[in-house]
Amino acid sequence: MLKNAGVALLPLIEGLRAAGAVGLRYAAGSRRMAGAIRAAPMGLFLRELLDAPAGVGAVWPSSEHLARGMAARIDPRGDGLVVELGAGTGVVTRALLDRGVPADRLRVVECSPAFVRHLRRRFPGVIILRGDAARLSDVLDESAAGRPVDAIVSSLPLRSLDPAVVSAVLDQCRTLLRPGCTLVQFTYALRGLPVAGLSEGFMVRDDPVVWANLPPARVIALERTD
Ligand SMILES: C[S@@+](CC[C@H](N)C(=O)[O-])C[C@H]1O[C@@H](n2cnc3c(N)ncnc32)[C@H](O)[C@@H]1O
């Protein structure tokens, strides 16, 4: 537990370092970010963070800027499913809907019962599945009704989760996504990949840094190769 808590603090330490490095640039965006932060259901997020630090793996909910940066990498057209992993408070879910992804194409997978209750209240028209992303095919099962998965958008904390879970999640992503399909993952690592396994079967399309997030984060958009 202590080890997990330590790993979960990594993003905070790196974020503070990065925040120091960007100094004024970060301060300039702080007023906009304060608005985004106030909008987040902080009490719920903090309770879940204390309960499962390695599973939440973030010290603050994602900002709307980060969520929009992730959603912008998703093509809202098409018939296949868009699957969101680790939705937490639902900031990215909101951004995907605002991006134009129809609610009936969206499947949201979250393992925390408290977050699932919150997400179901917040998005009554979206299918919210309680389950482990490491068993994604089983979790999607009936609700997918044979539809292919066009894109996966993940807020899972790949660096603080158990490596066996991460490896299973990435296997699921490789199995469900066909060549050309998109995987979006955010990370607090401002350089490189958060875990080496992400390079297997995927190629990085782009990876912009979002400074208006606490800590600053990077959106990595990957394309399934073969
Ligand atoms: C970084 S937090 C999500 C942040 C979210 N964007 C927000 O602002 O609230 C990671 C989320 O992944 C969820 N999670 C962790 N491991 C999971 C797993 N194996 N399957 C599904 N969800 C998982 C956690 O419960 C948490 O909600």
Q: From first to last of its 226 residues, what are the pLDDT tens digits of the chain?
A: 444 544 455 554 454 444 444 443 444 445 554 444 444 589 999 999 999 999 999 999 999 999 999 999 999 999 999 999 999 999 999 999 999 999 999 999 999 999 999 999 999 999 999 999 999 999 999 888 889 999 999 999 999 999 999 999 999 999 999 999 999 999 999 999 999 999 999 999 999 999 999 999 999 999 999 8
Question: If you measure from the C-alpha of residue 17 to the centroid of ligand 1, how many angstroms do you get, rounded to a whole number?
Answer: 24
213 Cβ below 6 A of ligand 1? no
Q: How far apart are CA 83 and CA 91, in angstroms?
A: 14
Domain spans of the chain, in order of start:
2-224
Q: Which of 4, 110, 120 to mutate to test the pocket of ligand 1 (most atoms within 8 A of CB)?
A: 110
**Residue 74 CB contacts under 8 Å (≥ 6 apart), including other chains:** 82, 96, 99, 101, 151, 153, 182, 184
Nearest CA to ligand 1 atom 13: 86
CATH superfamily for domain 2-224:
Vaccinia Virus protein VP39 (3.40.50.150)
pTM, whole model, 2 decimals? 0.86
Q: How far apart are CA 74 and CA 32, in angstroms?
A: 24
212 Cβ below 6 A of ligand 1? no
